[in-house]
Amino acid sequence: MQRLSFELEHIASHSNARAGTIRTDRMEVKTPIFMPVGTQATVKGIKTYELEELGADILLANTYHLLLRPGPEVFEKLGGIHRFMNWKRMVLTDSGGFQIFSLPHSRKMTEAGAEFRSYTDGKFIILSPEKSIATQISIGSDIMMVLDQCVPGDSSHAVAKKAMDLTHRWALRSLAARGDSWQSLFGIVQGACHPDLRKQSAEFLVEQNFEGYAIGGLAVGESKAEREDFCELSASLLPQDKPRYLMGVGTPIDLLEAVHRGVDMFDCIIPSAYAKQGKAYTSKGMLKLERAIYKFQDIPLDPNCSCPTCRLYSRAYLHHLRKTDETLGWQLLSYHNIKYYIDLMKEMRRHILADSFHEFYLKQRDLLARPDEENPSLLPVRKSRA
């Protein structure tokens, strides 16, 4: 059975940045790639046909939430998540491991799994590797994740090793539970900020020959420098011919740094979450649209963007929507931010293939890290929109 394959097309000079192609029976996907987060079978505020227009090829959904509502029986009856949400492209499901991490006072960890109380009906549920995989099989995602235990980035060596060892045992159980399903399964490298544990974790998981590998346990309390160092270390330990996925990261500068270090796949809620706060990423830097500086700016959000938000609405109008807390403002900025992320990944891929990524990286690194109040190119512009 051919599940997922990965073709490495080019590695940039003076960088570990990679361009590749993921192939499944459903479709081909070009990397590096950003996957919008559709936790509960929806990307907040955006319709599936709009996501296709934006160029999204993989959506991320969450096993923990979909287990609780609507439940695996709904997906089984309706023919899986693709039909359920009318999405024809790929879906990756997280296993629920991060949600376990996010409920430190509401769950109990055992060898069997994580016991927690459902937020929908109050019942106790044990999320075991077998239940996580069974739920993901019912959902019908193209790529499944093993159940793992995530710990804070600053965890002690002993705590991190205990969680890593449990993650490895759960990975084997997840692999066995997958059986002969057509769905691909990724292992997750853990080990917090301990180089020896990261090496042990990668070595163990690579021996199991998963279809791809994720780098977990980052963006959970460690410093930016630590995140970048352990991302680079983890990526360097993984096979060249398998996709590498950095889970839950991050801002555009985080994505640029991680691509530079050899990562292929990303997901994060930031595009939508920041949109709700009135924050927009543009080719000139980030804009915080609640600021009074935008009240009279009759110009596009980003003159270099072709999305409907930028074509049809002014900064002044978007500022107004933010100040009045109108849902439309959140939706328009979410649409734009996701478009920005997808276009950024395409631009990085173009530069990798042209072998000009290193120059692109050096130029973009400063711009992407600069807030709008420090960016002179975002000061008021007097010329009206065309």
The catalytic position among 264, 267, 302, 372 is: 267
Query: What local confidence, expressed as pLDDT, does residue 377 receive?
Result: 53
pLDDT at 135: 98
Closest to 360 measured CA to CA, from 282, 260, 286: 260
Active-site option among 94, 142, 264, 372: 94
Known catalytic residue at 94: yes
pLDDT tens, position by position, 102-122? 766 667 789 999 888 888 888
d(CA 120, CA 70): 10
**Which ranges of the chain have pLDDT less than 70?**
103-106, 373-386
Catalytic residue list contains 355: no
Q: What is the number of other CB atoms lying within 10 angstroms of the CB of residue 251?
A: 19
| Domains within the chain, CATH numbers bracketed | 5-268 (3.20.20.105), 279-373 (no CATH)
Contact 216, 189 (CB under 8 A): yes
Predicted local confidence at residue 13, as pLDDT: 98
- Alpha helix (H) ranges present in the chain? 48-54, 63-68, 72-78, 81-85, 97-101, 129-139, 157-178, 195-207, 224-236, 252-260, 270-276, 308-312, 315-323, 327-353, 357-368
